[in-house]
Amino acid sequence: MSNGAGDFRSPLNRNVVVQTALRYVDEHGLEALSMHKLGAALGVTAMSLYNHVDNKDALLDGIVEELWSRIELAPNTHDDWRETIATLARALRDLVHRHPHAATLLTSRPIVPTAALRTFDALLRTLRGAGLPETRAIQLLRTMLAYALGFALTELSWSNAGRDHEEKELQRLRQISNMLPPDLPDELLEVGLKVCGACDMTAAFELSLQLMLRGLDVD
Amino acid sequence: MSNGAGDFRSPLNRNVVVQTALRYVDEHGLEALSMHKLGAALGVTAMSLYNHVDNKDALLDGIVEELWSRIELAPNTHDDWRETIATLARALRDLVHRHPHAATLLTSRPIVPTAALRTFDALLRTLRGAGLPETRAIQLLRTMLAYALGFALTELSWSNAGRDHEEKELQRLRQISNMLPPDLPDELLEVGLKVCGACDMTAAFELSLQLMLRGLDVD
DNA sequence: ACCTGAACACCGTTCAAGT
DNA sequence: ACCTGAACACCGTTCAAGT
């Protein structure tokens, strides 16, 4: 018996290593991920992972690839390019919400995986098909990327524990005050509660999204 | 002689520890920061830092505080609230650009320092003074925060080495292709170059900014 | 081809001890 | 009050050795 999973386990490969790493981060947080512990989770020692991944940085890059490959664009039923681009924004925010602990990697690892480019390519095609000039389409894409990713990441970082909006008001306040400085002057407390208050973030996201698209529209 | 700086050095305090930490991250990158090395940079052993900071997480939180306190809002000369909010967006992007290695902390540490709240408070006052309903002002603030932070962070992560736009075209291409997968299909290469291409990011930022503000305007 | 043991320098953190 | 030495468990990574 050479490992806890028995001897019938198929040999490791890069893909299962990366998949397991993402699952591990989803469950235990990014800081908890180590080569040793990931190895243990796979019934193997840390050193064995280096047969499938160059080093830890490469593993993190692998997670980013995996994230981009899991983006789920809603089917583009409407023939409106504004809806198409809104779809990307929602899909990105969804992705961040599904992987809150791994999402920061999307802006901290400087790589653009194939899966991301495929998504961009499809979107640019649609936009061009709708008659948008190419430079405009690219600018639009970049803007939406930045908005959706930025919104989701700040939203997440400022309400980390806040799973659902179902929680009790009192513990919501407690949670917000944990993010605020303990020595916060009274006159700033109100501002903190307002800006960090959970409210309906989905609605806020949609509203700003529509505003942006309208801004593009009147051009 | 108890340390490299001589015996006349004034005793450490939390502020100089945090300041030095930020400077260290600015120079050597976030990954390079360790308690041991920060101690050495201060002419002291790692353990001594724990007299001024609870632990490394608290140190990182301190850096986030420091970052927010270094935001520089351009003076609000115009009486136009759209310019006021644009000023915040530019200041945030500037801040990220001035501290590219530390900036990711802004969305990975779940705290909202006093300096941030003070900035928000001033802005909300101005917006209310211009006649905007409070809920609208807050939503506007959140949107701009997300947009500016998101734009700057994605911009940074996808052109990490790209210091100035003055660089040679060839090495710019080389740099981009470093971010792209080595096995990228040809048909996606063009998309990658377009989306990641440096172009004039400041202009792109401004353009989208104006579009968003215009979207708000026609309401 | 894949995995391991032993080993390395480095990490965060503690605690008792020094001044 | 502030700093240190010794010590701890835990990192990432290498390499020679096993199958």
Window 27-56 of chain B: CB closer than 7 A to strand D = 39, 44-45, 47-48, 51-52
Q: In angstroms, what separates the C-alpha of A210 from chain B's closest C-alpha? A: 8
Q: What pLDDT score does A76 carry?
A: 78
| Closest by CA position to A13, among listed A21, A4, A5 | A21
Q: What pLDDT score does A5 carry?
A: 41
d(CA B110, CA B120) in angstroms, rounded, equals 17
> Is B215–A212 a contact, with Cβ atoms under 8 angstroms apart?
yes
The tens digit of pLDDT for each residue in B74-112 reads: 987 777 889 999 999 999 999 999 999 999 999 999 999
CA atoms within 13 A on the CB side of A57: 5
Buried b / exposed e over B175-212, threshold 16 CB at 10 Å, is: bbeebbbeebeeebeebbebbbebeebeebbeebbebb
The tens digit of pLDDT for each residue in B130-155 reads: 999 998 899 889 989 999 999 999 98
d(CA A179, CA A173) in angstroms, rounded, equals 10
What pTM, to 2 d.p., does this model score? 0.91
Residues ≥6 apart with Cβ < 8 Å to A16: A42
Under 8 Å between Cβ of A193 and A173: yes
B40-B44-B49 Cα angle (round to 5): 100
Q: Which of the nucleotides lies closest to A39 (Cα–C1')?
A: C3
Q: Is the Cβ atom of A3 within 7 Å of strand C at any atom?
A: yes
Q: What pLDDT score does B175 carry?
A: 82
Residues ≥6 apart with Cβ < 8 Å to B120: A191, A195, B141
How deeply is A119 buried, as exposed, middle or buried, from its count of CB atoms within 10 A (0-12, 13-18, 19+)?
Answer: buried
